[in-house]
Amino acid sequence: MASRKSGVPELHFPKYKVQDTEEQGSMDAATQPSTNWHLKENTRDHHTSKFSSKELIVRRGQAFVVTFNGIEQPEQNLTFIAETGPKPSKQAKTQATFGISSTVSKENWSAVLQSTSSNSASIAISSPANAVIGRYKLSVQSTSSGSSSPATLGTFVLLFNPWSSGDDVFMSNKAECEEYVLEEFGIIFSGNTHHINSFGWNFGQFQGDILNICLSMLDRSLNYRQDPATDVSHRNDPKYLGRVLSAMVNGNDDQGVVLGNWSGNYEGGKSPSSWTGSGEILQNWKKSGFKPVRYGQCWVFAAVLTTDVWGFPLEQLQISALPMMQMETCVWMSFMMLLEIIWREELTVSGIYQCGPASRNAIKEGDVDLDYDCPFVFAEVNADCMYWNYDPATGKKTLIFSKSTTIGQFISTKAVGRDDRVDVTSDYKYEEGSRKERDIFKKARKKLGLEDKFDPTAPTPKEIEQKPDISGKFKVAGPLEVGKDLNLILVLANLQPDVKSVHVNMTAWSTVYTRRPVREIWKDSISVTLSPEEEKHFPIKISYAEYQQQLTTDNTIQITALCHVEGGIQVLVQRDITLDNPAIDIQVLGEAKVNKEVDVEVVFTNPINAEVMDCVLQVEGNDLLRGILEIDVPPLKAGEKSSTKFKLTPVETGSKHLLVNFSCDKFSDIKAFKTVKHKKLAGFFLFMINVNWTSLKNKVEDLTPTHISWQPSVNAGAHHTDRYANTELTVRRGQAFTITLYFNRPKQPGESLAFVTEIGPSPSESHRTKAVFNLSEVGASGWSAVQGSSESGYTTFTISSPANAIIGRYNLILQVTSGNKIFSRFLGQFVMLFNPWCPGDDVYMANENERQEYVLNENGIIFVGNAKYIEARGWYYGQFQDQLLNICLTMLDLSLYYRQDPAIDVSRRGDPKYVGRVISSMINGNDNDNGVLLGKWQGSFHSHENPSRWDGSVVILQKWRQDNYKPVQYGQCWVFAGVMCTVLRCLGIPTRLVSNFNSAHDVDRNLSIDKYYDSSGKSLNISKDSTWDYHVWNESWFIRPDLGTQYNGWQVLDATPQEQSKGLFQCGPASVTAIKEGDVDLDYDTLFVYTEVNADCNRWIVYNDGTKKRVYCDTEIIGRFISTKAVGSNSRVDVTYNYKYPEGSSEERRVYKKALAKIFGSNITEGHTEPPRERSSEAVRKPGISGKFKLAEPPVFGKDVTLILILNNLSSDHKTVKVDMSASTVLYTRRAVAEILKATASVDLGSKQGKHIRLKIPYSYYGKYLTTDKRIQVTALCEVMHMHGVKLLVEKTIILEDTNIIIKIPRRVVVSKAATLEISYANPLPEPVNRCVLLVTVMNQQVKIHLARLAPRERSRIYFEFTPRRTGPLQLQVDFSCDKFSHIKGFVTISVAPM
């Protein structure tokens, strides 16, 4: 036992052995100490006790206490680690390491020991006042025990602290802190300058999981997606955070919360005026998978932003201006700053819809050059207003008049501690028309560079001389209430001493609050003669019947009178009118006490001369009701009064607000609120709501599902989806699945049920992204539902989808019809995949063994090497692992196809060829489309991953997600293919990997691959064409109705970014049958793949003078040994015959000519014109000799390579041959890396004589130039003297064999029992190697083992223990690297037996 030191405890955490993947976390875990977060005391001290969370929530710059046990020696030193974000670092201030100290540090994190006992310690932990806010992980480590890893104590959330004097958001007035941070109720002021209304809003920042939703909001911002680590590091700055949130509350350029809609048509969403609080909006945003909620307008955006969980002191403002009102949010950060949540075409700051924080003082002082968006906000409260007359016939505009005092009036907010309105206009601007105000206006124009430009508000000399001859105004002559006639008086006055003739054109339009006209209500015209200085009144009546159908939910009407004065200038008279909704009276019938029921009565009188129907009353109130209470009100006849009573039970003392919203078929969203003051009553807080109708006492509550069982085990087993790690139901199309619904009561006669499925951002039946289907009926969409067994309280339903259904994540909705009322209930989400088991699905595969291999097998084999040395490499697809399905679905939503037209893209996801093509573009990241991988084939991989490092897809896809969908660096062809196979199998499309040896890349599409050498035989990188030793792509199985049944079956898809297809790096699907038959004109990219397996290979010599001479043509070398993994085994299957007829056969010749004809025209195979392949063969003069390279012994990495060049004279003539030999290290793409040897020889060959030339390439020549491909290309350019430059090119690519990694497994491996493997590895080099690392990967878990140095040629071994968690085949991979070489690989497939 370690010696004791005074004062500080030591932790002791026992460790466990490495385990296999099916268990949570990593293979090596530590036992964690138990932690007491002292929630009650800490949240009370930090003003966070109202949050509905079991997680500790504290504020920065203030200490909190935590107690933990698991301590053997309480006096030893402790180190704490607090970290937040995806990549915590001390430099970014997202990680803090701190020990025990005697005092609190104001600048840094600190821990002060409060008390200790025999097995526990209480620590007061303090954060600096400028700490990053968010969710932290807190860990502790003993500094004296030598523990290798810290123990996690848990997580906590850190917020801004307006009560801390060192915090940027510090607010000294405690009453203001209570109002702007802790108050959950707000008042929104609306209307216009003539009539300011108010209505209540429930911010609800402490309710449910609003805090977690708000934290998710930050992690979904564009800032986070672009650079997660930097974004999190800036979250200590309230102005940064406020700006991010201003972008995220609107959903117009990201995954923001609310979509704006001012059209008056709110189909597919809710009218903005129907919202009564932020909680429902934020919860709906989360339930929809963080898709923007439909719809909001300015007060909704501002109110959601004000739902402040962060600790910003926030207030809402109404600016009465143009538009009639604009809602904004003020945040206190040492001084008042303005944030605005907007969606306007004119304001996309840095390409994002965001605004602020703009200093309120800067706005008032005209400092419009300051950050952020000060000019925009300054204009909102200070702009001058011009009124023009526009003649549509001529396009001419005439300025009628301008006003500098219209904009920015009665800027209002709620009073502190009261529901009164406070005017804060003077905080934004000096008094209108004052000299100071005009000076500020000029100052702002100067800062904006407008002082020398035309000022449209400045009167011209003519305008100064010409004054209007008359004046006019509208006066209200009756009540301004919905349901009543609108009575106005137009007052016209002659300002001149002579008679004036005036023609007046009058119109009235319904408008939205932005003053955008929607529908014309009324128009009239009059002609008036005004005597000198006479005033006349003209009554105007617009009946309720005239405006009833035209009125928007804003209840606003704009009436104008354009007065044409004979011989004078025109005069515009205008008034904006807001009609009041009928009054709602709310009475609390008794004294409200905690834990005591109290009756509430809501009284409403129908104000119109007609019956109103479909009446619904919504009631909401924090600490009064849980959620939203919705009550159906019977129809009301003209003038009839409705009285609705219900009971509530307060659960907390203090003033609370009850919000009421009434709607019917004639008008909507009549709002009212009532302050309910609670008195304290001792006892346990009990929650209860009873609804009692006055007018319908025996009302039966709506039929509502209270719970859903997705029956996951039954459905997943039947749908072959039981191995997916995601928790939501995952099913396959064209096959039924079963759910069970639990209802609040039995279904009654007259009630019927239907289901709705929706997918995508804009579900519609026309796009097949929405289906509505009744029970026992097959809808037009092909969806159907059948009711099964029904017991007391629950009913089983079987839902079937069509075999061509769109794949992806669906919303499932229950639609209940009861009489004339239809309402919907969101049930949850499920995921739909392709179904190879369904005969009606395009991806149907009849053979069960093939389905098991190409859909369900997570282990794969990739064949690499070259045509003469084919190697097998293991790959783990892992398509069922945690988060993989969500990542694959997200991949579709990040594609350029989705970004261009989301609705159309989603509607096409039922087509496997479309999905495959989209995925082929998304696996690579070369189109700036957030693709998964960047390709790199040359240069250094410094600071990123060498493609040879990867052993499977899961770690790549998870890293892509963790890095906020930035391309992972780097991949090459087999990596792209491996990842694509994972994604397509995950989505349900049968897919396999195919390796093509001697694979051509024919850039100019002439079926010829041209390779160039200098006169010494050195390979030159001057051709765009290339031949790769191997290239790996994918084949997916589905039918091709677009081409014809003969092209069904395997289709080539290639994600490697070689060339663009229709503007994107994508390839396929190309039918394998079409490739074999030479149908190169068929979709998609068939010609490209055809050339990869059929092009000719031509070799050219480039002389010093630049001339070129072809010395070799091979018509059979391209497309050899096309290989894939066998079904059910690791064997190699040659599928070359699927792609081409035997080389040189009559069928192959026919197809080749057919392809040429389709490329170059039909005359290529007729008349005197011969195909290029035949011409090129005849063009090469025969040198009369043959040659080949032969290895003297197997080439082993680390040893000298010895070859023999064998030359034979094919004629009876004597020949002298000059031989220039060259050797270079190359990539598998045959691109030269470095020349390592040059040699020249001269050989005399007698008649029919053969001779050998020995060539040795020492390890010292190639060692430091070899890439991880371990390839050397050797060429011999043989010139027969006295034959006018006739040459023979001999070429060989050598793959150096790795020293084998040997893996020995037990004779029998049993599930859930530990098994020990022996892994043998070696240093093949003639020199020692250091920094040896062995990576052992089982499925998605990896163990990194640091090894001792190895002496020259030394072999060593380790023993590795693991415990498999499931039966069946299991692939184990080993990767060995050191300072001299990297990524020597081995793998073994282990058959795990049941117990």
What are the residue numbers of the active site?
Answer: 973, 1031, 1054
How far apart CA 261 and CA 250 sit, in angstroms, is 11
- Contacts of 881-884 with C-beta under 8 Å, sequence gap 24+, read 881/21, 881/725, 881/954, 881/1339, 881/1340, 882/725, 882/726, 883/725, 883/726, 883/958, 883/961, 884/725, 884/954, 884/957, 884/982, 884/986
Task: For residue 616, list its beta bridge partners.
Answer: 632, 663
CA distance 352 to 327: 19
Pairwise CA distance, residues 1375 & 1355, whole Å: 15
Cα-based distances in Å from 556 to 187, 220, 329: 20, 37, 24
What is the distance between the alpha carbons of residues 1154 and 1162, in angstroms, rounded to a whole number?
8
3-class secondary-structure state, position 947: helix
Beta carbons of 1097 and 974 less than 8 angstroms apart: no
992: helix, strand or coil: strand
Cis peptide before 372 (omega within 30 of 0): yes
Coil, strand or helix: which one is 955?
helix
**What burial letters (b/e) apply to 415-432, b meaning 16+ CB within 10 Å?**
ebeeeebeebbeebbbee
Half-sphere exposure in the Cβ direction for 1290 (13 Å, CA): 23
What the block records as the tokens of 226 is 């672009």
Q: Which of 1217, 1356, 1199, 1359 is nearest to 1289 (CA)?
A: 1217
DSSP designation for 1074: H
* Contact residues for 253 (Cβ-Cβ < 8 A; gap 6+): 222, 247, 348, 351, 352, 353
At residue 547, what is the residue type?
Answer: Y
Q: What angle do CA 179, 658, 684 make, to 5 degrees?
A: 85
208 conformational bin, left if phi > 0, alpha if psi -120 to 50, beta if neither: left
Q: Report yes or no: 858 and 882 within 8 Å, Cβ to Cβ.
A: no
What is the Cα–Cα distance from 754 to 825, expressed in whole angstroms? 11
Q: How far apart are CA 1365 and CA 22, in angstroms?
A: 6
d(CA 203, CA 191): 21
Alpha carbon distance 709, 701 (integer Å):
23
* Both tokens assigned to 137: 């992980």
Say whether 228 sits in a helix, a strand or coil.
helix
Q: If DSSP codes are grouped into helix, strand and coil, which group holds residue 1034?
A: strand
C-alpha angle 1323-1332-1202 in degrees, rounded to nearest 5: 25
Q: At what angle do helices 278-287 and 298-306 cross, to 10 degrees?
A: 90
90 class by beta-carbon count within 10 Å (0-12 exposed, 13-18 middle, 19+ buried): exposed
- State the CB neighbour count (10 A cutoff) for residue 1106: 6
For residues 1389 and 1392, what is the distance between their CA atoms, to the nearest angstrom?
9
User: Can you give the three-state secondary structure of 1337-1393, one letter per residue?
Assistant: EECCEEEEEEECCECCCCEEEEEEEECCCCCEEEEEEEEEECCCCCCEEEEEEEEEE
Q: 821 is written with which tokens?
A: 């009322």
| Phi, psi dihedral angles at 1010 (to 5 degrees) | -105, 125
